[in-house]
Structure 1
Amino acid sequence: MEIRIDDLTGSQVIELIGEHLQGMAMHSPPESVHALNLEGLKKPEITFWSAWEQDELLGCGALKELDDQHGEIKSMRTSSLHLRKGVAKRLLEHIIEEAKRRGYRRLSLETGSMAAFEPAKRLYASFGFQNCKPFSDYIEDPNSVFMTKEI
């Protein structure tokens, strides 16, 4: 698996982000969807990676710099064709390593509270993420789970 910084212009990546946004909209009320669209992911404080096997897109993930010591994981998504193959685990490892390289002391994320998000929550918990209060600009929301990890 090759993980590389992506400029979000390729058709496979655009499709995967579309799939991600549709999935979030399907499982969360509109006011509780915090997934970023393509333009949101192109902001300078966000680094976006895609994971590939030859010419096939496996998944994606992003890291948003909240400040010089705190990052947020965004847009973690595995292609529906590659679920349960370790793609998300490998992307999460990559993002954590990059956060450490940048000198962050904390890494946080927001995900849904519904059953559809259980696999993601289990993955994050297996890496030592723990539930926390809302961070950054988030507010308390029964449809959201906030998690953080000191690194």
Structure 2
Amino acid sequence: MRFVRDDLQHPQVLALLEEHLRSSRSHSPPESVHALDVESLRGPGIAFWTAWDGEDLLGCGALKRLDAQHVELKSMRTAYAHQRKGVARAILTHLLAEAQANGFARMSLETGTPDAFAAARALYRDVGFEECDPFEGYVLDPYSVFMTRQLQ
């Protein structure tokens, strides 16, 4: 698996992000969908990575800088053809390492409560994330779970 700091131009990447948004919207009401669109992912303070096997896109994920010590995990997605193969864990491990290498002390995330997000919640718990209060402008929402983990 090869990780690339991505510029969000490749058609496969754009299709995966559209799939991510479509899926998020199908499981949560509009006000509870916090997935970022492509233009937002190109914004300042966001670093985006893709995972590849040759020319085959496996998945993606991003880090959004909240402050000098705190980063948020965003847009983590495994391509449907590669689910249940350890791709998400590998991407998450890569993003945790990137956050630590860049001096962040904490990583937080928001994910969904519907059953479609159960595997994601289990993965996050498995690597040390714990539920927390809403952060960085989020509010309590029955469709959201907030999680955080110390990095250093």
The TM-score normalised by the length of structure 1 is 0.99
1:1-150 aligned within 5 A: 1-150=1-150
The superposition leaves residues 47-71 of structure 1 with CA deviations (integer Å, 9 ceiling, x where unpaired) of 0000000000000000000000000
CA distance in structure 1 between the partners assigned to 2:5 and 2:59 by the alignment: 12
RMSD, matched Cα:
0.5
Amino acid in structure 1 at the alignment position of 2:146: F
Q: Percent identity?
A: 54
Question: Unaligned 5+ residue runs, structure 1?
Answer: none
Q: Look up the SS of the partner of 2:25 in the other structure.
A: helix
Aligned length: 151
User: 2:66 aligns to what SS in structure 1?
Assistant: strand
Instruction: Give, in whole Å, the separation in 1 of the partners of 2:94 and 2:63.
Output: 10
Amino acid at match of 1:138: Y
Q: CA deviation at 1:20?
A: 0.2
2:100 & 2:54 partners in 1: Cα distance? 28
Where does structure 2 lack aligned partners over 5 or more consecutive residues?
none
Runs of 4+ in structure 1 off by over 4 angstroms are none
Give TM-score, length-normalised by structure 2.
Answer: 0.98
- Measure the CA separation in 1 of the matches of 2:42 and 2:115: 30
